Amino acid sequence: MMASSSSSPSPRPSRRLLPVLAVAAAVLLLGPGGGVEARQPPPLHGVRPMAFGEGYTQIFGSANLALRGEGRRVHLSLDEATGAGFASQDLFLHGFFSAAVKLPADYAAGVVVAFYLTNGDRYEKTHDELDFEFLGNVRGREWRVQTNVYGNGSTGAGREERYDLPFDPTDDFHHYSILWTKHRIIFYVDETPIREVARTEAMGAAFPSKPMSLYATIWDGSAWATLGGRYRVDYKYAPFVAQFGDLVMQGCPVSSNPAAAAAPSCGTPWFEAAASLSGEQRRAMAAFRHGHMSYSYCHDRRRYPVALSECDAARLRRLFGPDGMKYGRRGARGRRSDVVM
């Protein structure tokens, strides 16, 4: 069963305006893993990551949030008492949002780590949301990554996609980024764009278009996250620690006054141009999606007997079943994916 995303708490953060940082030269920065180089997406090249105190605030978790490296790394932990989370101090209308994340190792079934944008605290029934959700698994099974797109409260058509990863996300830091512009949304894993959502007339208000805050959380998703809730969080392995670094918010900050929030004065921000993918980037995205996407809402005929307007469901149809799940790879297990939605 597909669960609605980011059900962790989202209290309203404070609203201190931050300037939009200028884009510097294209220099590949060192990641937060003790000088280990992490492959950042092109929009991040040359951008200075922020310290926690420059733009974020803790929203829940008490002592389960710890700062390291002069506030440039954040550890969020989950134990039997609570998870933890932080949020941006500002609302943004469009921008580029990124973090390097290292996920908990060993047994992590039921653990959910999320990095996402939402305005659910302001628009209870018409909220927008853009998610990376990291779904833990039993020992020996890999973490899965899910992206969600909600616009104007369209949780009934969450536009979920789920992927495996070409690396072990518990071994080191990897960058996960969301580029959100007026006309396009792009999700990145490291340098590779993995998903593009173009605004269309048919989508209407289902394309996220209201100011959102940025959140990062870890929480107990036992009810749905692993094989439909079959495997729950086992707290004998606690605490489960998710590490965040290279925190970047390059967006258009808006007033906390809802009446003024729709009209920020940012001119023409740099990230609008960054939403134009090169041919090389599109080929890399196609290869990632062909090799690593394990669920696609566009192929799910049980949830959507009629495909949503933006779907080209004829593409790669032979790889997916009527429930949207990808068939097992030849030479692997020769059967369906082991993930149940």
- Does residue 133 carry a catalytic annotation? yes
Burial classification of residue 319, based on how many CB atoms lie within 10 Å of its CB (0-12 exposed, 13-18 middle, 19 or more buried): middle
Which listed residue (124, 129, 201, 310) is catalytic? 129
d(CA 216, CA 99): 9
Q: Are 290 and 194 in contact (CB under 8 A)?
A: no
Q: Which of 36, 5, 45 has the alpha carbon at shortest distance from 177?
A: 45
Residue ranges with strand state E in 199-321:
213-220, 240-254, 293-300
d(CA 20, CA 166): 33
Tokens representing 162 are: 């789920």
Beta bridge partners of 249: 97
Q: Which of 180, 203, 9 has the alpha carbon at shortest distance from 92?
A: 180
Tokens representing 107 are: 């047994």
Tokens representing 28 are: 């590949």
Q: Tell me which residue has tokens 């404070």.
A: 14
d(CA 183, CA 94): 10
Q: Which phi and psi angles does 290 have, rounded to 5°?
A: -65, -40
Sheet holding 73-78, edge to edge: 65-68, 73-78, 240-254, 91-102, 174-180, 184-189, 192-198
d(CA 44, CA 155): 30
Which listed residue (133, 160, 272, 310) is catalytic? 133
- Does residue 129 carry a catalytic annotation? yes
d(CA 203, CA 263): 22
State the amino acid at position 241 in one-letter form: V
DSSP code string of 132-148:
EEEE--STTS--EEEEE
Q: Which residues are catalytic?
A: 129, 133
